């Protein structure tokens, strides 16, 4: 909005643009989190960015992801931060979502989780995996990043939007400041250029005046016609140009 030639947009117009941008950033952020969660050996952030962009283009049939600058602003806010999976760093971390290795109690026959004593006991006797008709070789779904639950009333969503809007505003404000400084430097340079041109013109005018004065002061009495008449006419033209009084012929 602060770039030269751009028109000013109010908050409603910016919100309409953000609605479309929000969906695109969310899709790319999911691809980035997925690649960043299980990176290749020795892969840096630049490599992960390339892999996430390739995954985004492949999944959503796009040529590229053109909103990297906006995503860089949004990714550091709570709404976009990756969610830590359950027991992902523990020795008993499972491949399926949901927690740790199950153990069977001796009395009730119910399954309980051993990851934490604070988790409630769950009756998993009706687990479809325990039924004989259920195939056991079904592929296990990979963990996908999930967003934090929003509070009722949209309080968290509103704060996230306000934080993103404030960051974008600060970036655009910095751009406007840099643009104003560049315009001031350009104006200063133009002023100096005009002053130098005027000084140069005055210098040339002074030299011309000195040369004309030198011609006017030269004696022409010894000249013969028609050279004498030519010199007299030249001196009259010089006097007319500078508003000088013609000396005696």
Measured in degrees and rounded to the nearest 5, phi and psi for residue 206 equal -65, -45
DSSP state of 248: P
Examine the pLDDT at 128 and tell me if it is beyond 70.
Answer: no
Name the residue among 145, 144, 92, 99 with its Cα closest to residue 124. 99
Measured in degrees and rounded to the nearest 5, phi and psi for residue 17 equal -65, -40
Q: Alpha-carbon distance 68 to 70, whole Å? A: 6
Summarised one tens digit per residue, pLDDT across range 26-66 is: 999 999 888 888 887 777 888 888 888 999 999 998 889 99
Instruction: Count CB neighbours of 197 within 10 A.
Output: 10
Bigger pLDDT: 35 or 157?
35
Cut 0.95: pTM above it: no
Give the pLDDT of residue 226.
Answer: 84
Q: How confident is the model at residue 111 (pLDDT cuts 50, 70, 90)?
A: very low
Buried b (16+ CB within 10 A) or exposed e, 105-132: eeeeeebbbebeeeeeeeeeeeeeeeee
Highest mean pLDDT among 127-131, 134-138, 188-192: 188-192
Residue carrying structure tokens 């390739």:
54
């Amino acid at each position: 909005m602060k770039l030269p030639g751009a028109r000013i947009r109010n908050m409603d117009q910016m919100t309409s643009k953000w609605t479309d941008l929000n969906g695109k950033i969310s899709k790319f952020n999911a691809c980035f989190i997925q690649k960043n969660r299980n990176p290749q050996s020795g892969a840096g952030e630049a490599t992960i960015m390339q892999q996430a962009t390739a995954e985004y283009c492949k999944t959503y049939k796009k040529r590229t992801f053109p909103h990297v600058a906006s995503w860089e602003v949004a990714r550091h806010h709570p709404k976009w931060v990756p969610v830590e999976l359950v027991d992902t760093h523990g020795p008993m971390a499972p491949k399926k979502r949901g927690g740790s290795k199950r153990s069977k109690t001796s009395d009730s026959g119910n399954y309980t989780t051993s990851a934490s004593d604070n988790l409630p006991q769950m009756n998993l006797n009706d687990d479809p995996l325990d039924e004989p008709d259920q195939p056991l070789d079904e592929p296990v779904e990979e963990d996908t990043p999930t967003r934090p639950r929003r509070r009722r009333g949209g309080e968290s969503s509103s704060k996230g939007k306000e934080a993103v809007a404030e960051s974008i505003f600060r970036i655009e404000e910095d751009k406007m400041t840099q643009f104003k400084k560049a315009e001031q430097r350009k104006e200063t340079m133009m002023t100096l250029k005009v002053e130098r041109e005027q000084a140069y013109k005055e210098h040339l005018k002074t030299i011309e005046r000195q040369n004309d004065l030198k011609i006017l002061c030269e004696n022409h009495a010894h000249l013969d016609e028609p050279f004498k008449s030519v010199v007299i006419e030249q001196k009259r033209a010089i006097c007319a140009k500078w508003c000088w009084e013609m000396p005696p012929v």
